[in-house]
Structure 1
Amino acid sequence: MRVERARKLISVLTLLLFTKLAVSQVVLAPSHSKDASNYDAANNDQSKLGTVIDSSDGEIASDSAVNDDGSDLVIGDHLICNSVECYPKVFEPSSGWKEIRPGQRLPVGLDIRISLEKGTKEAKLPEPVSEGAGGEGNADSEIENVVIDTEGKIIQHSEPDELAEEAVEEQINFVFNDHEVEGGPEPREITEDTTDLTIAESVTAESASNVQAAHEFSKDFAKIKSLAQLSSDEKNWEEVESILDDLVEFAHDYKKGFKILSNEFELLESLSFNDELAVSIRELAARIIISSLRNNPPAIDFVNENYPQTTFKLCEKLAELQAFRGSKPLVKRFLSILDVLLSRTEFVSIKDDVLWSTYKIEDPSSKVKILEIISKFFSERNEAVINNTELDMKTVQKWVNELTTIIQTPELDELHVRSFFHCISYIKSRFKNHVKIDSDFLNWLINEIELRNEAAKNELYKRDDGQLEFDSLLAESRHAIFGNPNAARLKERIYHNDELLADEL
């Protein structure tokens, strides 16, 4: 009798265990279900405000998705809203595990796990990794533009690099309650030592010499140096190119990118600026630099603090490349490096004539990049530099003409619209009647204000405070900056009187 009861008890426990495992099963591959198809269709159906003109620069367009219950999930420029609440579009990591909300994008290099207890996807900043954990056994995750759909499945979007032919392999490190998924990367050696991220954030001009020279890529760069020092007959540039090509993949990683730049920036800069080398080698060296800098503030600050002349060198090389055929890939790289470095400098200085001459001969995507650089120069935070710069008003007018023309392009994404509009507004406010604004731009501004006022009737649209703030700025600038300021005051007074009259009634 007891044996029979024991058998029944074992059967019940086995059934419960099997059921629990079946419920907790997780699909790691991208879903091809009907809901995933709806997501893709909605993602492709972008509105005017979310269209990206140059996805190679990492700009994010607005998306849309569908909740499990069929309600709309609206993804704006900064917020994601459903019928109940709004939350940030970009996931904000911390040292502890935090739930990844539907539709959120993840920064590079986070640890991700799937909690079986809560049934949610979670992420956090990477754990400290010991010095000896680097190299072949290091399985740092490289996550770029990862989106969690409304079913909780992970959808991976690979943004193309500046050239269409570049492809970056993304590695996602899935963790179940602190244990990595079977078949995934090998476990990392975790210690309590200071992380590379902490080292990167604390680097200054004085502490730069403390950055360790030894890293997992030391042998690769030592090989490049040895090959470059050989005589002309013995040099094997094909091997150098092969090594650089392998290093590009690692430069995209947050921590590895900083390691590369903090130890090997001078070598990479000399290779990219060497006029005697083939364009392919120079372009690879420049690509490693920009890959290490992009979305990596500590790396940007390191270069700005320790190599402040790099921005001027880039302008000089851009001037030299204008008469050199076949240099367009290299021009793109130099412009991107210049733009990223200027994004975190206290004072922005440029060579206006070089940028203008480059602008006239380059393709549309490079022109957008140049206008981004111009927008960083003509801004309120750069007032001190502008005050001490002799500006040719004819050249300033040329930039205004280009900015007011490109901002009317329907394909231009919202982030560029805001950046270029702030630049146009600043130039007009500072130079007033010395700068002329054409009627086409004013007509576009009036039409844009009407479109945004109509969109503001949507309750979900109103929840994006950043969007409403910019829309309000557009409306105020119509008369205050680009029209008659007296008309703006009159309109405000009439509106105020109407409110008083309504209160009395």
Structure 2
Amino acid sequence: MAQVAESNNNDIICPKGEHKEACYSRHFEPSSEWKIVKEGQMIPPGLEIRMGIDGSGIKEARIAGDDHGMDVSDAEIIPASDEKIGLDSNSNPEQVLEVSEALKNDGINNYKEQTSFSDREEFKSLSGYIITLGKQRKLSSENFETIVKNLEKLAELSSDYEIGSDVSKGRSLESLLALSGISDNSNHKDEFVFSGLGQKEIVEVKDMSLRCLSSALRNNDESLAHLSEAIPDRVSFVTRLISQETNPLLQRRRIGLLGALVTNDEFEQAINNKSVRELLERLGRNSPNELVRERVSNTLSDLANKRGDEAIVKQ
């Protein structure tokens, strides 16, 4: 394995002992033809990857597609991950390039040192997968296990401050809001997203998506600021969180998400809107589910602590 050294430019890799002409970009640039992946290069999500079977250890990648006329007699195609994390290898070339560009536009390539390299790379792949789901606008029972597995991994990573900040902006946020069933549904977008799943599957996808959002937003000022900027009508948003769900599990998740919003001034003001607070208090009184009532009580208590107004907590 060749030794590589970092250059002063974080986007450039320079092999040790070589002239500067031998330096190359850290970011692998995909095409429809097989290209060698150099040591240390980061591969965008959704590419086909192969390793030669001659033992050379050379890795090559290209944009996935069915029209390459590929001959696999001299190579083995391997997935980017044995656990099928990230974009499906069947994603079309335009989709892969669009997702890669979306990740760059959302600032997802820029991390500080406290976020581990492996977590960063896994998140980029997962984020690409979530963006693709959002673009498809229809989920399938055939891919249900993969969808849930990827959402579960994303929820684990989202507690990292920087990753959580990226989850809550751009295409990743748009897709998670739709998958959670809490986006603006005035054009019945959500019904289309879930039309390919059974009812139990819908609940699980919404549950995991809400967990992703809660994990990203809790105790993360940057994430909350991104969400606040993305949702100018915050009163309508928190009203949807409280009122548009009857499933007890999803109600708890939604109120938990609401609780994560309390520390943000804009969202706290929206939750304290008279009509919104009345909805929340009514849910706390009338819900047949004890855990939902407890979650509401905790949220009201958090509001009281932030405002110093104990009167809003119902004894």
TM-score of the two chains, using structure 1 as the length reference: 0.31
TM-score of the two chains, using structure 2 as the length reference: 0.48
Higher Rg of the two aligned structures: 1
